[in-house]
Chain A
Amino acid sequence: MKTAKMLTDDRIVELYWARSESAITETAAKYGGYCRSIAYNILFDAQDAEESVNDTYLDAWNAMPPHRPTALSTFLGKITRRISIDRWRRRHADKRGGGVMPAVLDELADCASPDDVESAIEQSEMARIITAFLDTLPTDERRVFLCRYWFMEPTAAIAKAFGYSESKTVSMLFRTRKKLREILEKEGYL
């Protein structure tokens, strides 16, 4: 009889805390695919995506302990997202590249300062603002927004998943970005 390796999230976290290298193996077995899909959406390159996922495991190893995530999947996904975006920025500093990232950044320019000036803003303040903003959105609108700008999914894929037309998805995202811009203006960041 043959069965799968599938550890509970608690046990995987315990392995990290116990400094057991099998933590990485178990993480890869359980969440490798999940992380790869996030990385690939951003980087649009299998090899780059694989490197980002490997870096994710290393970051997770360094973060635990002391960190003990409440949702391991989201914790790992967040690391992958950050690493992949950084990688994308480094590799595409002088060119546009493929994937959804150029389009995502173009869309987010709707919410940015007209002159694209950097603001001094703490990470905790960012978390407060985005949480307050997401709290105001209807459920599906919030999900669509996060699928696009957190998971970097193509609009066609989002439309298919939600049963919307692509044009409806695009206009929904446009309205949501407008709301985000209003919040940022109100908070004094634009």
Chain B
Amino acid sequence: MKKEQILDMIGEAPEAYVADAKQPKRRIPKKWKWLSGIAAVLVLIMLFNTPAIPMIVTAKAVSKPTASRRLEHDDFYTAESFDREAFEQMTAEREAILSRAIPSLASFTAGCAQTAIGGTDAVNRLFSPVNAYIGLAMTGELVSGQTQTQILDALGAPTTDDLRAYVSTVWEEVERERGGEICSIANSLWLDRDITYVQKTMDDLAYHYYASVYEGDLGSSRTERDITAWMQNNTRGMITKRQPSGIPPEDQLLTLASAIFFQSKWRDEFRASENTTAPFHAADGDIKCTFMNKKEAHMYYFWEEDFGAVAMGLKNGSTMWFILPDADKTVDDVLDDSAYTDVITQSEFRSEESTNSRYMKVNLSVPQFDVSSSIDLKEALQNMGVTDVFDPQLSDFSASVVSETEVPPYIAAVRQNVRVKIDEKGVTAAAYIEIPGAGAGAPPDEVIDFILDRPFVFAVTKSYVPLFVGVVNTPG
């Protein structure tokens, strides 16, 4: 065999080994050499999940069930024969809708986040924009008149037809289970059996929102068990308990439940052998944290007036964003400006503008965290102008409920529980990483240090759709 043939043969090395060879490498001090052997068998798993139960509509009990519809979309990845014409048409239509839907989602995210997850205390606050957006969109189908107009305005949709297109397209864009990643969104509407509802509205929900619509005796232990089972099923068993609504059974008319489950792995895993222990400067004092580190990793670095951000690739094209306020700024400064949502949703990508970003080498240090929060989005939505739906005197549910009730239907609460976990099993190496600041302004030419050792904002996006946004004030 000739040496040139051997060179060609090496070119046939498996992709996984080739990609692995270009993983950021690190000087390993002699005494820690043994750890690298352990790290080779370790896997970092990212796990995100949010349980549902965002909305509960109260009034006198009534109702009956309808059928459900499952997600149906052409899967061009697994089709036996590729229909290029259909694909091109689908792609063009989808792009056109997404180019309007994603800025609306970005704006909704910025509007909600400001009230819902802001705060410079030691509390972690998280929410799922896409989950809340779809939940509110479904509510928009149940109402009429000014109540509906307020919702459409908050969601950035001119008409209900636009909103339906936005939701179903976003859904089809993110709903996936392949390539080592799971992203699953599910919605349901639970009608009390004593209610008289508008069948067409329920059919529209099932068709345009892929919602399952059920009938039951809301508030009874049996229906509560059904809803809990639905939640368990749609969160892949990760969520087993629901918070009690606190609303008397006889007052419950409708319950809208929405769930999102997301699980993925880093495209380039962290190595446990490179973990370090260092202080995290929380609002109420320093706490010791385990930091996961990457040395000279190739990634995009973004900078804006109040923050710097990096994008970490996940399997199957999703992204986790770490957004660090500048040293003299807070997470509220980041959340008060929509610049961060423009970055994470790449809103202006389509406008072909130039960039405040660079693909470069980054020394990244991220604390391990497992944070959860339970928030009521009511105040955030009210601040965005969605008010009538929460007011029994003003709410107009005539699009969905026919019967006369003693108390007009209205929304009592918009609860959202979210948990985000970055988990890495294994040994941590003792070492110390320096703490340089990563502020605004153009980054240096070569390598930048990006150390998340103070409160920061994170986001998870898939195809520019914001699945989760959160503030980590205290990693734990």
A→B interface (CB under 8 Å): 1-11, 14, 17-19, 30, 33-34, 65-66, 68, 70-71, 73-75, 77-78, 81-82, 85, 89, 104-105, 108-109, 111-113, 116-119, 121, 123, 126-127, 129-131, 134, 139-140, 142-143, 146-147, 149-151, 161-163, 180, 184, 189-190
Cβ–Cβ < 8 Å partners of A65 in chain B: 82, 84
B346 located at the interface, meaning its Cβ lies under 8 Å from any Cβ of chain A in the complex: yes
Cβ–Cβ < 8 Å partners of B77 in chain A: 68
Give the distance in Å from the alpha carbon of A33 to the alpha carbon of B355 in the complex.
17
| Cβ-defined partner of A5 (8 Å) among B20, B343, B355 | B355
B18 touches A4 (CB 8 A): no
A8 touches B91 (CB 8 A): no
* Secondary structure of the A contact surface, majority rule: helix
Question: Which of these binds chain A: B275-283, B296-304, B449-457?
Answer: B296-304
| Cβ-defined partner of A150 (8 Å) among B21, B76, B91, B355 | B21
B346-364 CB mask vs A (1 if < 8 Å, else 0) is 1111001111110100000
**Max chain B C-beta neighbours (<10 A), residue from A1, A77, A150, A163:** A1
| Cβ-defined partner of A108 (8 Å) among B6, B298, B338 | B6
Give the distance in Å from the alpha carbon of A33 to the alpha carbon of B300 in the complex.
12
A126 touches B12 (CB 8 A): yes
B15 touches A151 (CB 8 A): no
B13 touches A2 (CB 8 A): no
Cβ–Cβ < 8 Å partners of A121 in chain B: 1, 5, 9
B88 touches A85 (CB 8 A): no
Question: Which of these binds chain A: B25-33, B54-62, B144-152?
Answer: B25-33
Knowing that A5-B355, A82-B8 touch, tell me 14 more A-B residue pairs with CB under 8 angstroms: A2-B353, A3-B347, A11-B463, A14-B91, A19-B84, A75-B15, A85-B8, A108-B3, A111-B3, A113-B2, A121-B1, A126-B12, A130-B13, A162-B27
A-B contact pairs, 27 of them (CB 8 A): A1-B304, A1-B348, A2-B355, A4-B346, A4-B355, A5-B355, A6-B357, A11-B463, A18-B91, A34-B298, A65-B84, A74-B19, A77-B18, A78-B18, A108-B7, A116-B2, A117-B1, A118-B1, A118-B2, A119-B5, A131-B12, A131-B14, A140-B36, A146-B18, A146-B21, A147-B22, A180-B6
B9 touches A130 (CB 8 A): yes
Give the distance in Å from the alpha carbon of A5 to the alpha carbon of B338 in the complex.
18
Residue of A nearest to B178 (CB): A10
**Max chain B C-beta neighbours (<10 A), residue from A6, A9, A127, A139:** A6
Cβ–Cβ < 8 Å partners of A33 in chain B: 359
With A18-B91, A149-B10 known to touch, is A30 a contact of B348 (CB < 8 Å)? no
Cβ–Cβ < 8 Å partners of A4 in chain B: 300, 302, 346, 349, 355-357
B6 touches A147 (CB 8 A): no
| Cβ-defined partner of A130 (8 Å) among B4, B12, B317, B356 | B12
A3 touches B21 (CB 8 A): no
A71 touches B300 (CB 8 A): no
Those 7 A-B pairs whose CB atoms lie nearest each other, nearest first: A8-B317, A163-B27, A4-B357, A146-B21, A4-B355, A127-B12, A10-B317
Cβ–Cβ < 8 Å partners of B352 in chain A: 5
Cβ–Cβ < 8 Å partners of A112 in chain B: 1-3, 5-6
Residue of B nearest to A116 (CB): B2
B444 located at the interface, meaning its Cβ lies under 8 Å from any Cβ of chain A in the complex: no
**Max chain B C-beta neighbours (<10 A), residue from A10, A11, A14:** A10
| Chain B stretch 24-83: residues in CB contact (< 8 A) with chain A | 25-28, 36-37, 40, 76-77, 82
B300 touches A150 (CB 8 A): no
B15 touches A70 (CB 8 A): yes
| Cβ-defined partner of A11 (8 Å) among B40, B311, B317 | B317
Q: How far is the CB of B292 from chain A (nearest CB, A)?
A: 19
A146 touches B7 (CB 8 A): no
Cβ–Cβ < 8 Å partners of A77 in chain B: 18
Q: How far is the CB of B101 from chain A (nearest CB, A)?
A: 15
